[in-house]
Structure 1
C-alpha cells in the first residue's frame, strides 16, 4: 500500500485525487487499512521518503545554493542570506534570474512596452518578488526577469536593472509602466534612461485616490462628488479639455475648506504630472493598467503556490522557473496554432461589427478627426 501510494505521490498525483481513488475502491463488505488513508498519512509518506522535487537539501539555504548552481547561467546576481538574517538590517538579500530566452524576448519586445511591479506573501521570509514584463505580438504578458529581494528601494532596483542591462544590453521602451511609486521609474531612468512615455498604472492611481478621500470633509456624499470628478478627469479623452478640467478641478479643491487638504495632496502628488496618469495622454499607446502583471502574480500565488505562503525559498525559485517555462510554451502554442488575448479578440469582434455599418450612417466632424453614427 505504501509503495503504491509513494509512487503516485512521486508522479505528482494530487493528494485529493489519491484519496478519491482509494475511497471509490472501497467495498462495503470489506474495509482494508488502505481505505483508512488520510491526508496526514500522505504528508507523512512524502516526508519519510523525501519526496520533494524542490528540496535538494533539508536545509533551505543549502538547497537554494545547490539549485542556483544548477541554473547558474540564468543567475545574474546572488546575494543570498537565508535563515537568521535580520531583514530590517542593511544586509541585502537579492537574487536576479533571467534565462537566455527571456533575454531574447526583452530585446525583441522591450522597445515597445516594459512593465514592472512587485508582489508580497510568496514566502515566509517576506522577500519580495519583482517582475519585469513585456507584451508580445499577441498582447500577452511575458516575464523577462525576476528579482527576489528583502527590500524595494531605488538602490536595489537600480542593481536589478543594471544586471538586466549587462545581459540584454540597453533597452529603450516607448512605454514604461509601473505602480504609483517613483522607485521603479527612477531606477530605470538611472540605468536605461527615461522612456518616451512613463505611465502609472490606472488601477494603482485610482486606489491611491480612494484611500486619500478621507482628507475630504463633509461626509460620504462630498467624498463621492470628488471621486466622480476625479473619474471624469481621469477618463477625459481630449488633451485640451483635460487641461481645462484639471485647472478648474484643482482651483475648486483649494477654494473649498472641505476639500482643501485633498487639493494639496492631489496637486503635490498628481497635479504636476498629468501625462503619467491621464487617459488622454495614453490613447495611442494601447496600455492603461498593469493588469498583465497583476494577473501573472495572481497565477503565481493561487495556481502555483495554491494560495499559501510557502516555507522554503528553493520552492519559490523553482516555481518562478516553471512559470517562465509555462509562459513560453503558451506562446509556442499561439505561434503554431494561432491565438489572441481577450483584448485582441474584443478588438477583432468590434472591427467585424463595424464592417456591418452602412457608410451613409457615418458623419465626419468639421476637423475630420472624429466620426459619429447618425440615424438614416
Structure 2
C-alpha cells in the first residue's frame, strides 16, 4: 500500500501545529509587551484548554461518525482565522478571544488525526504511523516557536501572527481540494446510549489517559512558563524561541528511536520512565539563566516528555473498541486539557506570588510523585 497518505498527514500536522504552537509564544510575549502580569498570561494559556476540556469527546464522536475530512478542514481554517485577528484588532481583549478560538478549533484537527492514524495501512504499520505523526508534531514544535521568536524580533509582534497563520494555508487547500488520501472511516459501533465513561472503565485505557494527562501538564507548563521566565531574566524573543526549539528537537530525536525502544520495553514502562527524566530536567531550570544552559535543560526535558505522548496515542488506539478510536482520542484530549486549564492558572499564580523557583520545583515534585504512583501500579 502507498505510504503517501501518512506522509501527507504528517506534513499537515507539522504545518498546522507550527501555527498553533507558535501562537503560544506570540500571545505570551505580546501580552507581556502590553504590560500584563504572569497571572494574566496564565489565564490566556488556560483558555487554550477550556473548549477541548468540554468538547473533545464530542469532537471524537463527530469524527467517528462523519469521517476525517470535515473536522480536519474546520480545525485548520479555524486556526488560520484566529491567528489573523490580533493584527486586525490589537489589544489584550483580542488575545482572550484568540486563545479561546485556537483552543476550540485546533482539537477538531488534532483529535481526528489521532483517531484515524491507526486506520492507515496494515496493523503492523500502526506503530510506524504514530511515530511519523509524532515526528510531524515534534518538527512543528521546533519550527513554530522559533519562527514566532524570529518574526517578533525582526518584524514585530503583530506581523508575527500573520506569519503563523500562513502555515495553515497549504493544509486547508489540500483538505478542500484533494481529500482522497484520507482513510475511510471505520464502522461506528458504539451502542445507543454509550458514553465516554464506558471507555474510562477499561482499566488499562484509564491508566493511559491519566499518564498522558500528567505528562501533558508538564509539557504545557514548560511551553507556558519558559517565555515568562526568559522574559523575566532578560532573554530576547529569539533566544526564548531557540530554547523551545531545542526542546522540540529533543522530542524529535527520541521519537526517531521509539520503534526500537518499544520493542525492548513495555509502553507503560516507557511512560513511567519519562516522568523521572522530566522531573530531573525541571529541577535544573531555576538554577540557570544563560540561554545555552537553559537549552541543555530543555533538551533533557524533551527527551523525557517526547516519548510519552506517541506511546499513549498508539496504546489508546489498540485498547479502544472498534469504531471508537477518535472518541477515545477525544477523552484523552479532555483529560489533558483539564490539566492544561489548571496548570497555567495555578502556576501563574504561584509565580506571581513567590517567583519562579517554586514553579519549577513544585512541578518537579508533582512529576516524581506521579511517576512513583504509576510505577507502583505496574507491579
TM over 0.5: same fold?
A: no
TM-score norm. by structure 1 comes to 0.25
Max radius of gyration: which structure?
A: 1
TM-score norm. by structure 2 comes to 0.25
Instruction: Name whichever structure is richer in strand by fraction.
Output: 1
Instruction: Name whichever structure is richer in helix by fraction.
Output: 2
Greater relative contact order (Cα < 8 A, sep 6+): 2
